[in-house]
Chain A
């Protein structure tokens, strides 16, 4: 629970760092909180790769829907909200142990980082592919609801 709140606060912080000063900041926080909750739930059933993949797909889909409601680019909604999942820590340790010459730890962090990165990238790409097919319908549906 603390982690979810911390993730949401961190996402708001990143939104500000990325220059967002707008009413939709709370949507980003909500997205980050929900995504991390989903990740934690997914982790109970499957391994980290699939959890990351599904969470990233959910997060970008949420962002795409939110972007259609608020009429801002989806990337604005998505980028700060994905920060909690980003393997910043393990990317750092990968480079740290590479420089220190510790091969074993380097290899394990390298693997962990790239598993996460690939899982998330596939998740994002999955949403993109789905949106290419059904993005138009989604836009229409949102326009209807807004009316």
Chain B
């Protein structure tokens, strides 16, 4: 096998890993990632592919048609939920499998998806207001509570967009976020804006608490993805603890000084 061919094959695996990594980063399930990578590699004439993915790492070993065995590993160290991008990545991989383009073209299309310009910040504010206020009413709050929640939702979304502390340490971000919203919530209720502090805070908590992550973690374990499930499970418990700690801290501050 020539070096040229080998380079080409390595590049292909790398591209498939790029797509898999992007899917993990946008919230795709590990089974989907494994499936996507092995499908893409099989349409490019790889004889055999073994893919192993957990939330923080993907590993691929593939046997090329020339008989050589190639292995690549990718560390994934951050993920969020961006379902629209996940949908587009999924469409891209389907198109690749239906009609394999020259490998050089895939990279630029992937970049197009990932580099999509952000829309107006207003939309994300509107989304978080609807989500948080919706759940305040859902859990039995009234319209005043919903209005107070809307204010807090804007604060949370602002901190999320600016990524305050988020790059350094995720837990620190959740702690800071819940201290700020906890204090503001207390102050708003004291000022007579909103009546039920617990309903207001639960609405806000729905935005940050990893309830979805923990449920999906258990589901992952039940369907056989035990390592992924355990990773997410431990992470979710830590996040929930730092959020609760933040709220306890904020009520201590408010209780102590006011």
- The chain A residues found within 8 Å of chain B, CB to CB, are 2-3, 6-22, 71-73, 75-76, 79-80, 82-84, 86-89, 91-92, 94-96, 98-100, 117-118, 120-122, 124-125, 128-129
A17 and B207 contact, CB distance less than 8 A: yes
Q: Which residue of B lies closest to A92 (CB)?
A: B205
**Residues of A contacting B126 with CB < 8 Å?**
16
User: What B residues does A21 contact at CB under 8 A?
Assistant: 84, 119, 123
A72-B240 CB under 8 A given contacts A86-B215, A88-B206: no
Q: How far does the Cβ of A138 sit from chain B's closest Cβ, in whole Å?
A: 17
Q: Which of B32, B83, B90, B138 contacts A79 (CB 8 A)?
A: B83
A86 to B218, CA, bound (A): 13
Determine whether the beta carbon of A120 is less than 8 Å from that of B131: no
A28's closest neighbor in chain B, by CB? B83
Residues of A within 8 A of B130 (CB): 9-10, 12-13, 16
Q: Which residues of A contact B129 (CB under 8 A)?
A: 13
Residue of B133, B202, B216, B221 with highest tally of chain A CB at under 10 A = B216
A95-B243 contact, Cβ under 8 Å, with A18-B27, A22-B84: yes
Query: CA A84 – CA B83 in complex, angstroms?
Result: 18
Given known A-B contacts A6-B137, A121-B219, A72 and B248 have beta carbons under 8 A apart: no
Check A20/B209 contact, CB under 8 A, given A99-B241, A117-B218. Answer: no
Q: Give CA–CA (A76, B211) in the complex, Å.
A: 16
Report the Cα distance A129→B223, complex, angstroms: 8
CA distance A95 to B202 in the complex (A): 14
Residues from chain B with Cβ under 8 Å of A128 in the complex:
219, 223
Q: Which of A7, A17, A84, A121 contacts B215 (CB 8 A)?
A: A121
B81 within 8 A of A: yes
In the bound complex, how far is the Cα of B13 from the Cα of A15, in angstroms? 33
Partner of B218, one of A19, A83, A88, A121: A121
Give the distance to chain B from A47, nearest Cβ to Cβ, in Å.
19
Contact residues of B between 119 and 140, Cβ < 8 Å to A = 119, 123-124, 126-135, 137-139
- Main secondary structure on B side of the interface with A: helix
Q: Are A125 and B219 in touch, CB under 8 angstroms?
A: yes
State the CA gap A29–B247 with chains docked (Å).
30
A145 to B223, CA, bound (A): 30
Collect the chain B residues with CB atoms within 8 Å of residue A118's CB.
218
The smallest beta-carbon distance between A43 and chain B, in angstroms, is 15
Contact partner, B243, options A71, A83, A92, A98, Cβ 8 Å: A92
Given contacts A17-B127, A91-B214, A124-B219, 19 further A-B contacts (CB under 8 A): A6-B138, A9-B130, A9-B133, A10-B206, A12-B130, A16-B124, A21-B84, A72-B90, A73-B86, A88-B211, A92-B247, A94-B240, A95-B243, A95-B245, A100-B248, A121-B218, A125-B223, A128-B219, A128-B223
Q: Is B87 an interface residue when CB atoms closer than 8 A count as contact?
A: yes
Sample (26) of A-B pairs whose CB atoms are under 8 Å apart: A3-B138, A8-B134, A10-B130, A10-B134, A10-B135, A13-B130, A14-B127, A18-B82, A19-B85, A71-B91, A72-B87, A75-B28, A75-B32, A76-B87, A79-B81, A79-B83, A83-B135, A84-B135, A86-B215, A88-B209, A91-B214, A91-B240, A94-B240, A95-B237, A96-B248, A125-B219
Q: A89 contacts B123, CB within 8 Å? A: no
CB within 8 Å of A: which of B175-232?
Answer: 202, 205-207, 209-212, 214-216, 218-219, 221-223
* Nearest Cβ on chain B to A84's Cβ, whole angstroms: 7
B59 at the interface (CB under 8 A from A): no
Q: Give the complex CA separation of A82 and B206 in angstroms.
A: 12
For B85, list chain A residues within 8 Å (CB). 19
Select the residue from B124, B209, B244 with max chain A CB neighbours within 10 A.
B244
